[in-house]
Amino acid sequence: MALVGAAPATAASAYNALVRILAAFVLSSLVPLAAHAQVDATGDYLSRMDGDGNGRVSLTEYQDWMSYAFDAMDRDRDGTLTPGELPGGKGKPVTRHGYRARIAETFNKQDVNRDGSLSARELAAPPQ
Ligand SMILES: [Ca+2]
Ligand SMILES: [Ca+2]
């Protein structure tokens, strides 16, 4: 398996697409679990991701949240999403490490003021 850092640009865009898919997956999949079914405000997303309850989402909190989707999709628990585990049943394998690295890139883009955490406003901003 190729290292993520050596992956060509096409693989990078595939990761971006996957992150979007997983984000949609995790947000939609958690709705039925909510005590109150409606999750339509960014503040609700923030409070769900905000593990330590300080009102801001750290990189670790963001990665842990996004990894929930990864783990849900990694049906054989081997730490890699193989094509059969990916949406549509095809694509390049995605390692957990590579996925978290990709999430960190997304986080850093969202962290507009570079303070190392995402506010509700930064969380709600469209990806750059
Ligand atoms: Ca926090
Ligand atoms: Ca797997």
How far, in Å, is the centroid of ligand 1 from the Cα of 47? 9
Task: Kindly give the distance from the C-alpha atom of residue 58 to the centroid of ligand 2, in angstroms, as a whole number.
Answer: 26
From the CA of 93, the nearest ligand is 2
Residues 81, 4 contacting (CB under 8 angstroms): no
**69 C-alpha to ligand 2 centroid (Å):** 12
pLDDT digits (tens, 9 = 90+) for 93-124: 999 999 999 999 999 999 999 999 999 889 88
CA 75 to ligand 1 center in whole angstroms: 29
pLDDT at 33 over 90: no
| CA 83 – ligand 2 centroid, Å | 9
Q: pLDDT digits over 44-93, tens only? A: 778 889 999 999 999 999 999 988 889 999 999 999 999 999 888 888 99
pTM comes to 0.64
Q: Which residue has the higher pLDDT, 51 or 12?
A: 51
Distance CA 117, CA 59 (A): 6
Class of domain 8-124: mainly alpha
Q: What is the pLDDT of residue 126?
A: 74
Contacts with 111 (C-beta within 8 Å, 6 or more apart), sequence order: 117, 118, 122
Q: Tell me which residue of 78, 89, 101, 75 sits closest to 15, measured CA to CA.
A: 101
